[in-house]
Amino acid sequence: MKHIAFIMDGNGRWADNHGKTRQFGHEKGSENVYDIFLSCINLNINTATFFAMSSENMNRPKEETEFISILLNNSIKRHLPDLIENKIKFKVIGDTSHLSSTILETISHAEHLTSKYERYKLNIAYNYGGKWDILNSIHTLLKNNVEISLDNISSHLSTGSDFPDLIVRTGGYKRLSNFMLWQAAYSELIFLDTLWPEFSSDDVSGILDNYRSIKRKFGKLIND
Ligand code: IPE
Ligand code: IPE
Ligand code: MG
């Protein structure tokens, strides 16, 4: 497997179960991202995308969305030295236009300093919507007078043509919530009841074993 994506759901319920605020749940969830990324790398999965906030999540109270944007800012700053040391390309995908200039600077600084690395990739989907991604790709093609084709739409998505082999959603619901709608056409899907802050490296290993037992056919009769 080259690319795994996580829909990190369940921070709020985890906090509620522990008598804590939703903010505390998001903090715990955010702390888990880099550890899980490193477990993916250790298992030879070179790209991981984490769905941190959907475009629809922007309709939550401002205190919550702002808090999540601060967590994003702080965790990029905390992990940047490690990203550089381990040669990991970092990217935020999604509509970041509303973010404060401080956070935008943190993001572009990290993206710039890690842009030359190709082997390992860490993507954070923030204010991301699958519909937005497709529309954005088509707008780019139109603007540059490029033919609207399946291949061109794919290559102009925020992920480029690097689609996830597997999408894992924690938190008990079996839906994509507007995540990677185009890219998910042939992704394997795994849904877990585990709430994101409790999701662990052992869970990643278990998922990988499960994934390896799946025969991917892409519509063909034989997997050739
Ligand atoms: C996922 O956790 C993180 C975001 C969507 C920002 P939730 O905040 O959706 O947690 P639950 O679903 O309320 O438990
Ligand atoms: C999906 O979680 C988005 C992320 C995990 C970032 P939500 O909690 O927003 O999903 P719904 O509203 O239950 O579909
Ligand atoms: Mg949720």
30-60 burial code (b ≥16 CB/10 A, e <16): bebbbebbbbbbeeebbbbbbbbbbbebeee
Catalytic site positions? 9, 57
In a domain, 181, yes or no: no
CATH number of domain containing 64? 3.40.1180.10
The 10s digit of each residue's pLDDT in 93-150 is 999 999 999 999 999 999 999 999 999 999 999 999 999 999 999 999 999 999 999 9
8 lines ligand 2 (CB under 6 A): yes
pLDDT tier at 28, thresholds 50, 70, 90: very high
- pLDDT band, very low/low/confident/very high, at 224 (cuts 50, 70, 90): low
Counting from 1 in the atom list of ligand 1, the atom nearest the Cα of 14 is: 14
pLDDT at position 222 is: 73
Domain range holding 82?
Answer: 3-130+165-176+188-212
Tell me: the pLDDT tens digits for 51-106? 999 999 999 999 999 999 999 999 999 999 999 999 999 999 999 999 999 999 99
Give the distance (Å) from ligand 2 centre to CA of residue 9. Answer: 6
Ligand 1 neighbourhood includes 69 CB (under 6 angstroms): no
Per-residue confidence at 223, pLDDT binned at 50, 70, 90? low
Q: Is 182 contained in some domain?
A: no
| Domain contains 46 | yes
Domain assignment present for residue 154? The answer is no
The pLDDT of residue 6 is 99
Note whether residue 72 is domain-resident.
yes
Residue 205 belongs to some domain of the structure? yes
Q: Is 11 in the pocket of ligand 1 (CB under 6 A)?
A: yes
Q: Number of structural domains, the chain?
A: 1
**145: in domain:** no
**Dihedrals φ, ψ of 47, to 5°?**
-125, 135
Looking at the domain assignment, is residue 143 inside a domain? no
| Strand order across the 166-169 sheet | 88-93, 120-125, 47-51, 3-7, 166-169, 188-191
